[in-house]
Amino acid sequence: MVVFELSTSVDRWPDPVQKFIIMSDGRRLDPVQKLIIMSDDSVITKQIQDTHTPDGREIDCDSLLLIIEEILYRTVPLGIQAAMQENSIPAGFKEGLLEALSYVVNRISSEMTYKCLTSGDAHQMVISLLQLLSSYPWEAKLVLLLVAFVLMYSEFWILIKFQASSKLASKIAILKQVPEVEKLKKQLDGLNNLIMLMLDLAKCIVGFKMLPAPIVDLPELSGALDTIPTAIYWTARGIVFCAVYTTQLTAANYEDPMKLGTLEKELSALADKIRSSNENLQKQLTDCYQIIEEKKEKDDYESLVRLTESAHIDNLEVLRALISGNNDEPPLIAGSTNRTTNLDLLRRKYVLFLISGLFDASPPTDLYVLAQIYNEAKTYSGIRNDFELVWIPMVDSLQIQTEATKRQLQFCQEYVPWYSVRQPSFISKPVKRLIKEKFHYRNRQILVVMDPLGRVVNLNALHMMWIWGTVGFPFEKTKELLLWQEETWRLELLVNGIDVSLLYWIRSERYIILYGGFDLQAISDFTVTARRIIHQLDIPLEMVYVGTSTKSPQELGPLINNIRNQRLSNCWEEEMMWFFWTRVESMLLSKIQVEAKDEQDPVMQELEKLLMYDRMGTWALFSKGSEVMLTGRVPALIHLLQKFDEWKGNVGHSDFLIELKEQYNRLPAADDHPCCQLEFDHTTGKTPVSMICPECHRSMEELAVFTCCHDH
């Protein structure tokens, strides 16, 4: 910054100034503006620190600021009021406080009035006032200066506002030579803006005083606290200036362009200085609030973790920590009746938390199936009174403010038959963190189970719900392991709860073929060939197309229509296909999660084979009644069935499916044999350390795959 001085004579402030400085950017500054903009704050700080000898007295600065703002609200123009808030005297305010402070406030007012009339040095005036307030803490000095000024300023405004309507005010205004308000609009707008800046800075500085001690002691905050005395000095300069400016706005002076022009320049420079201090301190104060909030959230989160890992007398304490609704507002809403309710109805019950985002006007299939299981349990099951299901909507706090999202939330709450958290805001940030970090929520719905003592006993019981339904109650890991110990590889395990007709065929010991894939030609060749051979053998056969996990319902639509139109076999509905593949995947994941995985476990081997074959292409599963005899790839099976005449002689000595299995196992590996692949989503929890290929029985290679589904 380059400075060019044009003259050398300077009169005492606040008289008109005849000396100007040209800045490198072309601005012309008078000496007062130069003093403000180019002042050395380190020198000023030393001087004002010397005036500070506090004796431990404290005053209610926050309440005084509210009263100051109330007075200004009643006096300043409507344009300034828009940025303010009307306040009332705070409850519990000690009226004796004003009586105790009246002496020092009157003393300040007298000092400012005297020095305004005697045209003294602004810096010395501020130092003198700070010496008068030497026994008070920093924030109290500033607030008391504001109180004294507001008393003077309000008297000025009473004359300004009421001189036209009050004879008394009119006569006093004449004696004091106060112009009409319309003639002072420009000057008063600038003055009021400066006053608002000073009030904002005072609030900010008082805000630092209100911070808890641990925050104030932070090293990164020390710089901000060191600048507070300087900020108070410049605000005091602004207060003294406003007092001087008010006395200068008389009929004799307001038409003097040089005198008012000088004051307006200083007003602008002071406003810039105070605005800069306020912005810096506000940023520091905001950082402090952020630190406080983060510390609180961290403490709350750690308390939540301890709470959910401990046993209690009942689960109410944990429930209230997880769902923190207002005392006056019941936090739950029942979807079936749309009535609100409190958490007490969940006391000493197993609580299943369904955690997910919002769904669209067409609810997803998994929600439809879960609702069927829930309704059946609540209608017929003996556990209807032992558990409740509660939906926790994971919605961004900003997103929920839109009307569209509110309508979507209401639709979701009305659709589900169980309880829902009424407002997403009832789920605090620490709870959301717990859900993401400890419950492993990754934007896919999970079903977290809490026992009657408030302990989280299963981080995702959806696998158990899909496999066993309410038979899996109470959905604890020990129950899951017990159920697997009782299971064997049989057709009922795959289709239970999906197709009643299939269960009847199983009991009738019929030959059953389940098949899937996406190749219509392979499906047509396989079903026609298989049905021809079974007809030759004159054995009862049922065939069902179960879809594929690799295609969406929209993609499968044309293929399903062809299967039905050509009467190739029975064909499941979309929901049944989804449930079949969800259950198969859930079985594999459940085995892994409960550490029941065994390379020699036939259930595990067959589940892996079924999922791998589905990803490789078209496949088929053969069973006789409940006994699953063979799962194979359709191209290889077509090859065998087309050569049935070559090995049908062996069928007379054994069952058809036994011979088919032996023939299939004897097939040599083809050169064009596709790779076996099985994908695991790492967000589902544990993944297997190693896997054996169901085709060649070698160890499979582990690869990482990144996939984007474009929100589908």
- What pLDDT was estimated at residue 175? 74
Structure tokens at 448: 């977290």
DSSP secondary structure string for all residues of 243-309: HHHHHH-STTTTT-HHHHHHHHHHHHHHHHHHHHHHHHHHHHHHHHHHHHHHHHHHHHHHHHHHHHT
- What pLDDT was estimated at residue 15? 45
Is 691 part of a structural domain of the chain?
no
Give the per-residue SS3 of 467-523: HHHHHHCCCCHHHHHHHHHHCCCCHHHHHCCCCHHHHHHHHCCCEEEEEECCCHHHH
Average pLDDT of span 415-426? 91
- What pLDDT was estimated at residue 438? 92
- pLDDT category, 419, cuts 50, 70, 90? very high
- What pLDDT was estimated at residue 354? 96
The answer to whether 387 touches 457, Cβ cutoff 8 Å, is no
- pLDDT category, 18, cuts 50, 70, 90? very low
Mean pLDDT estimate for the chain = 81
- What pLDDT was estimated at residue 712? 45
Query: Residue 366 is part of a domain; what is its CATH number?
Result: 3.40.30.10
Instruction: For residue range 208-248, list pLDDT tens digits in order.
Output: 888 876 665 666 677 777 888 999 999 999 999 888 888 77
Together in a domain, 128 and 272: yes
Question: Can you give the residue range of the structural domain that contains 635?
Answer: 487-676
pLDDT higher than threshold 90 for residue 701 = no
Instruction: For residue range 483-500, list pLDDT tens digits in order.
Output: 999 999 999 999 998 999
pLDDT higher than threshold 60 for residue 34 = no
- What pLDDT was estimated at residue 83? 46
Is 15 part of a structural domain of the chain?
yes
- pLDDT category, 41, cuts 50, 70, 90? low
If residue 571 lies in a helix (H) or strand (E), which one and from where to where?
strand 570-571
Distance in angstroms between the alpha carbons of the first and the last residue of the chain: 59
Choose the most confident range, by mean pLDDT, from 34-48, 391-405, 608-622.
Answer: 608-622
Instruction: For residue range 168-215, list pLDDT tens digits in order.
Output: 777 777 777 676 666 667 777 888 889 999 999 999 999 888 887 666
- What pLDDT was estimated at residue 627? 93
Is 307 part of a structural domain of the chain?
no
Together in a domain, 118 and 70: yes
Is 633 part of a structural domain of the chain?
yes
Together in a domain, 118 and 147: yes
pLDDT higher than threshold 90 for residue 120 = no
DSSP secondary structure string for all residues of 299-324: HHHHHHHHHHTS--SSSHHHHHHHS-
Together in a domain, 345 and 363: yes
Is 682 part of a structural domain of the chain?
no
Give how many domains the chain has, as a whole number: 4
Is 370 part of a structural domain of the chain?
yes
Q: Which tops the pLDDT comparison, 465 or 405?
A: 465
Together in a domain, 278 and 369: no
pLDDT higher than threshold 60 for residue 92 = no
Is 266 part of a structural domain of the chain?
yes
Together in a domain, 101 and 189: yes
Burial of 265 (0-12, 13-18, 19+ CB in 10 A): middle
- pLDDT category, 645, cuts 50, 70, 90? confident
- What pLDDT was estimated at residue 208? 86
Together in a domain, 416 and 343: yes
Per-residue DSSP letter, 84: S
Together in a domain, 48 and 187: yes
Together in a domain, 385 and 264: no
- pLDDT category, 78, cuts 50, 70, 90? very low
Together in a domain, 518 and 635: yes
Per-residue DSSP letter, 419: E
pLDDT higher than threshold 90 for residue 630 = yes
Together in a domain, 33 and 45: no
Average pLDDT of span 161-171? 72
Among 416, 443, 469, the domain boundary falls at 469
Is 700 part of a structural domain of the chain?
no
Together in a domain, 506 and 638: yes
